[in-house]
């Protein structure tokens, strides 16, 4: 597995990041540990979790899985969402960040967190308060680098501007949703990250499993899958509309041409997008992980790139269409 620099940070991470959201939930502890070992054996060194995954159990399992291997791994976790019963056990206030980072350090059984990410924007907390608190954690050695997740472009740009103006540690990474189906970050977020040298760590590169090939338009969603087990077919921004089904079919055709799985094609596409550092792959078992690991070490050819671009094209809207018109 290739190594890539983590944006403007001075460390290198593997071109795939192992997501631990399934740890302690869909994947039991033995399976989770086996997946960490398999990922490390394949050359991976980047693991991502969050304090709210499985109510903290994901961090605990991750910490135990990394016992004796902590120095080999760039470890990332997050703070923002409800992590306790109280009204202040949520958000990006100084109080909650302080309490959350100490709890994450205990659960992960580590002295430091390599990448500490705010999980989403918080309308209640002062941005100055959030950024100064995160900066303190860096200077105290509890955190090495900072990142944002699920930010708009103006929120990210404002955060970077405040950090620069006040001499605070800036965000080094952005963790956004990004896949062949969900390409919205290409409008503003991806260009901003490329301009400011932020690493981009896409979550859900298979768009909730839609791009894995396990769903077919003419069939009921299978039980035991995220779509088949949910009350709504797919959550968040995942939509099984005509455009999505066209992309699924295009991915399947490319996969058949190459003798690869649909998941491997979809992950390979995003891994090699300009500006992307390390997509986050998640798995429920070793079989899924092995399939995902097969997404690197090869390249899509120009014909397949064009086929996927055509199928996944999306309206950029105003002012992008106007600017393109003006340039011509």
pLDDT of 73 above 70 = yes
b or e along 170-209 (b: 16 or more beta carbons within 10 Å of the residue's beta carbon)? bbbbbbbbbbbbbbebbeebbebbeebebbbbbbbbbbbb
pLDDT of 134 above 90 = yes
pLDDT of 26 above 60 = yes
- Residue 216, pLDDT score: 75
Q: Which residue would you say has higher pLDDT here, 116 or 227?
A: 116
pLDDT of 235 above 60 = no
Catalytic residue from among 53, 116, 151, 215: 53
Mean pLDDT of 158-173: 98
Mean pLDDT of 265-289: 97
Domain residue extents for the chain: 3-175
pLDDT of 322 above 70 = yes
pTM for the full predicted model:
0.93
- Residue 236, pLDDT score: 54
pLDDT band for position 324 (50/70/90)? confident
pLDDT band for position 237 (50/70/90)? low
Mean pLDDT of 244-268: 97
- Residue 198, pLDDT score: 98
Q: Work out the mean pLDDT of the chain and round it to a whole number.
A: 93
Residue 236 to residue 38: CA distance in whole angstroms = 30
- Cα distances (Å, whole numbers) of residue 44 to 74, 175, 292: 10, 18, 12
Q: Which residue would you say has higher pLDDT here, 240 or 20?
A: 20
- Residue 226, pLDDT score: 53
Beta bridge partners of 24: none
- Say if CB 250 and CB 195 are below 8 A apart: no
The least confident of 76-85, 131-140, 160-169, 207-216 is 207-216
- Residue 224, pLDDT score: 57
Respond yes or no: is residue 53 known to be catalytic: yes
For domain 3-175, give the CATH number.
3.20.20.100
- Residue 19, pLDDT score: 98
Query: What string of H, E and C letters represents the secondary structure of 218-260?
Result: CCCCCCCCHHHHCCCCCCCCCCCCHHHHHHHHHHHHHHHHHCC
- Please report the DSSP string for 36-48 in residue order: HHHHHHTT--EEE
Mean pLDDT of 27-40: 98
Residue 290 to residue 294: CA distance in whole angstroms = 6
pLDDT of 273 above 90 = yes
Mean pLDDT of 49-61: 97
The least confident of 15-24, 102-111, 227-236 is 227-236
- Residue 238, pLDDT score: 67
Residue 303 to residue 316: CA distance in whole angstroms = 23
- Residue 223, pLDDT score: 59
44: its two tokens: 């991976």
pLDDT of 214 above 60 = yes
């Amino acid at each position: 597995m290739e190594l890539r620099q983590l944006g403007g940070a001075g460390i290198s991470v593997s071109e795939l990041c192992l997501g631990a959201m399934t740890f302690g939930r869909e994947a039991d502890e033995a399976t989770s540990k086996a997946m960490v070992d398999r990922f490390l054996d394949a050359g991976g060194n980047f693991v991502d979790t969050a304090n709210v995954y499985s109510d903290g159990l994901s961090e605990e399992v991750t910490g135990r899985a990394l016992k004796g291997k902590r120095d080999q791994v760039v470890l990332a976790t997050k703070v923002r969402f409800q992590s306790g019963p109280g009204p202040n056990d949520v958000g990006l206030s100084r109080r909650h960040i302080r309490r959350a980072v100490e709890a994450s350090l205990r659960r992960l059984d580590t002295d430091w967190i390599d990448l500490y990410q705010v999980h989403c924007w918080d309308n209640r907390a002062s941005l100055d308060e959030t950024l100064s608190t995160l900066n303190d954690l860096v200077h105290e050695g509890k955190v090495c680098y900072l990142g944002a997740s699920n930010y708009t472009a103006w929120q990210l740009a404002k955060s970077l501007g405040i950090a620069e103006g006040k001499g605070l540690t800036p965000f080094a990474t952005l963790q956004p949703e990004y896949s062949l189906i969900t390409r919205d970050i290409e409008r503003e977020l991806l260009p901003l990250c490329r301009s400011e040298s932020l690493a981009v760590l896409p979550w859900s590169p298979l768009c909730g499993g839609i791009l894995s090939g396990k769903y077919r338009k003419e069939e009921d969603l299978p039980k035991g899958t995220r779509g088949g087990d949910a009350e709504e077919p797919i959550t968040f921004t995942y939509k099984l509309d005509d455009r999505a089904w066209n992309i699924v079919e295009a991915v399947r055709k490319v996969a058949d041409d190459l003798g690869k799985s649909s998941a491997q094609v979809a992950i390979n596409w995003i891994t090699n997008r300009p500006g992307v550092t390390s997509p986050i792959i998640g798995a429920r078992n070793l079989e899924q992980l092995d399939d995902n690991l097969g997404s690197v070490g090869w390249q899509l050819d120009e014909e397949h790139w064009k086929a996927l671009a055509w199928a996944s094209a999306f309206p950029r809207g105003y002012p992008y269409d106007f600017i393109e018109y003006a340039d011509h």
